[in-house]
Amino acid sequence: MKVISTMLLMACVCLYANAQQQKKAPNIFIITTDGLRWQEVFEGANANLVNNKMYVEDTSLLQQLYNDSSTEKRREKLMPFFWNVIAKQGVLYGNRHYNNKVDVRNIYKFSYPGYNEIFTGYADRRFTPNSPVLNRNRNVLEHLNSSSDYKGSVVAFSSWNIFPYILNEPRSNFSVNSGYEILPEEDSANITLNNVQDYVKHKTHTRYDLLTCFAAKEYIAAHHPKVVAIGLGETDKFAHEGRYDKYLMHINNVDKMIAELWYYVQTDPFYKNNTTFIITTDHGRGRRTNSWYKHHLFVKGSGEVWMAMLGPGISPAGEMKDDKKIYLNQVAATVSFLTGQSFEKEAGHSIGGALPVQAAPALNLPVAQPAIAGKAALK
């Protein structure tokens, strides 16, 4: 009898220790907004474009909303959370005016290869179109979902309906809710959400970001997943439509959605001070007045992107002004490093090196070394 009770006690201690360890392991949110140019992030509204009747219906109203003669004020008007919070408490890479660059590593410069690069750390040279093709490459989210610290605690929501293929949902074994896919109705809010989705008349391959964000927030509040990927899509949609007005207004919405999410995280005891946001985009777009709306291999500027990070382990360096280049394929290793998991060894393909971030104190790991031989180094 005594042996049994001792064994029970030991089992309880182990379970408790495991739960504590799982609670301590840092939470990671990867948020992407499709095809948002670094120019709008760092310069705010473009003076030529806000005035251009080809791309803007009401130029004077749009100027009232987002224009200013000062670059600092302009970008803050457009993205107040980025410039009032991230620029002070986190880090922003990619202002090319300082020669601080973030580039994609893949040669194609459109969405599937871009997201593949973000989540797998691997700029695949094999061509995969923006279509429902299951990704061959292993991603960092499925790696985390197979670890003891993160098992069953990984989820993804996206507006674009190709994410379940890019993240290879059947193989990865975590939920990826995308496009106008029905949400599981065991969560009561989802019944309402499914009704709203039903009402959307002209369903495209990209769900309203507001609905994606709402679904993600409801899930986060109910289940407290430790790793969350949120893929927003309308920035790209409005740009492809050549609507600079809608593109700008939506950038402002995206900034607000991220602000609300951060506010939620920092006021929830489960997430507070143990959650890092990594925010980026899958590709750039043209640099010119006549090319800003498009992007591909032959449009100059399509490989130029940006990245923002906020949370424990991220130094409050703000807007980076040093002459350096980082790559989109460094996100996966950075996530792996922050979570103390060894994705590099198990990815099965080469991956870009981690950015110089500090591992969470709970894990007691060293600072990531920026330059790793044979991998994408900071340069």
Question: What does the binding site for Zn ion look like in residue numbers (CB under 5 A)?
Answer: 34-35, 111, 236, 282
Least gap, CB of 130 to Zn ion (angstroms): 8
Least gap, CB of 117 to Zn ion (angstroms): 12
Task: Spell 269-287 as b/e; 16+ CB within 10 A means b.
Answer: eebeebbbbbbbbbbbbbb
Type of residue at 274: N
Least gap, CB of 144 to Zn ion (angstroms): 24
Decide whether 46 or 159 has the Cβ nearer to Zn ion: 159
Least gap, CB of 26 to Zn ion (angstroms): 28
Decide whether 145 or 212 has the Cβ nearer to Zn ion: 212
Decide whether 40 or 319 has the Cβ nearer to Zn ion: 40
Distance CA 63, CA 75 (A): 13
Decide whether 204 or 358 has the Cβ nearer to Zn ion: 204
Q: Which H, E and C letters describe 134-185, residue by residue?
A: CCCCCCHHHHHHCCCCCCCCEEEEECECCHHHHCCHHHHCCEEEECCCCCCC
Distance CA 104, CA 106 (A): 6
- Using CB positions, name the residue nearest to Zn ion: 111
Between the two ends of the chain, the Cα-to-Cα distance in Å is 65
CA distances from 347 to 136, 144, 332 (A): 11, 11, 10
Least gap, CB of 103 to Zn ion (angstroms): 15
Whether the Cβ atoms of residue 333 and residue 354 lie closer than 8 Å to each other? yes
Q: What is the DSSP string of 41-106?
A: HHH-S-HHHHT-TTT-S-HHHHHHHH--SSHHHHHHHH-HHIIIIIHHHSEEE--GGGTEEEE--S
By DSSP bridging, strand 275-280 and strand 307-310 are: antiparallel
Decide whether 190 or 281 has the Cβ nearer to Zn ion: 281
Decide whether 31 or 144 has the Cβ nearer to Zn ion: 31
Least gap, CB of 96 to Zn ion (angstroms): 20
Decide whether 34 or 40 has the Cβ nearer to Zn ion: 34
Least gap, CB of 32 to Zn ion (angstroms): 9
